[in-house]
A and B are shown apart, each in its own frame.
Chain A
Amino acid sequence: MIVELLAVGLVVSACLAIYLDEAVYSIASLACMLILMAVLYAINDAVFVAVFQLAVSAGTLAVLFLAGEMLSEKPEKGKSLRKIFSIALLAVVLSLPSIFLSVAVTPVNVSPGFSFADALWSFRAIDVILQGLVIMTVALGIAIVLYEQKADES
């Protein structure tokens, strides 16, 4: 039952994130969706991924909130509450096939013989180290681009 409610919540918040005009409300809806997704991961025994998802999405959402507040103009007329409810209802209808239909074959539960930590550090250690390098490079690149933009303005 909880998983079904999570599925409905995911689709409703995704639809509202797209539909709502004001960027801040839209990003708040996206935040709700990402939190529900992390709970879904945790319920399905992917706890590490859930924690990682929460950590990454916290950073992403903070920056998105700032950018949304900075870059968006306030719409002259907001969406009516009735329209918002009808979109939420449509989203509930959209989420019904995932609850009642099934296309997946029954998974064969074979033990792979290694844990998540083994998978991360034995098979993907170089990737994990290199991704730190990629993140540092991206941060440096963005800082340089924004600095050059500021220098051009002044």
Chain B
Amino acid sequence: MDYMILSVVLLAVGIYGLLTRRHLVKVLISIEIIAVAASMNFVLLASSLNRPLGEAFLVIAFSTDACVTAIVLALLVIIAKKYGTCDIRKLAEIERSANERQTSVEA
């Protein structure tokens, strides 16, 4: 059983989700999977090498990860309230049309 390969597989799944999913909640889930894959590699290597400092570092990394999730979710709620959608492509279209409107006003 090789945890390094398992970690790479999970990382690949997360990156695939990050690139292909359009809903922002799904993007957040992909980021979670990437973070879990990275931390798994760290914890299991530290554990197999009998290095408790690596595990202690990861306890701190988990908290930081939870903070990132909380901030992204707060921004998500604001975006959903402001624009009425969580779809990345629709948000990009809204942004593009707003930019075009601004350039036409300036001209």
Contact = CB atoms under 8 A, between A and B. Distances in A.
A72 B57 CA distance: 35
A81 interface: no
A145 to B, nearest CB: 6
Contact of B52 (A17, A60, A112): A112
Interface string A83-103: 000000001001101110111
Contacts of B91: none
A135 B63 contact: yes
A4 B6 CA distance: 10
Contact of B59 (A34, A120, A123): A120
A80 interface: no
Contacts of B65: 56
A138 B26 contact: no
B10 to A, nearest CB: 6
B74 A97 contact: no
Nearest to A111: B50
B6 A98 contact: yes
A52 B86 CA distance: 31
A37 B60 contact: no
Interface string A62-81: 01100110111000000000
Question: Among A14, A60, A101, which residue has the most Cβ atoms of chain B within 10 A?
Answer: A14
Contact of A127 (B10, B55, B60, B76): B60
Contacts of A135: 63, 66-67
B55 A46 contact: yes
A87 to B, nearest CB: 11
Contact of A10 (B6, B23, B59): B6
14 contacts: A3-B1, A10-B6, A11-B10, A40-B40, A41-B43, A44-B44, A46-B44, A49-B58, A94-B9, A95-B9, A98-B6, A102-B5, A134-B63, A142-B71
- The 8 closest A-B CB pairs, nearest first, are A18-B17, A98-B6, A98-B5, A119-B52, A116-B52, A119-B56, A120-B56, A142-B74
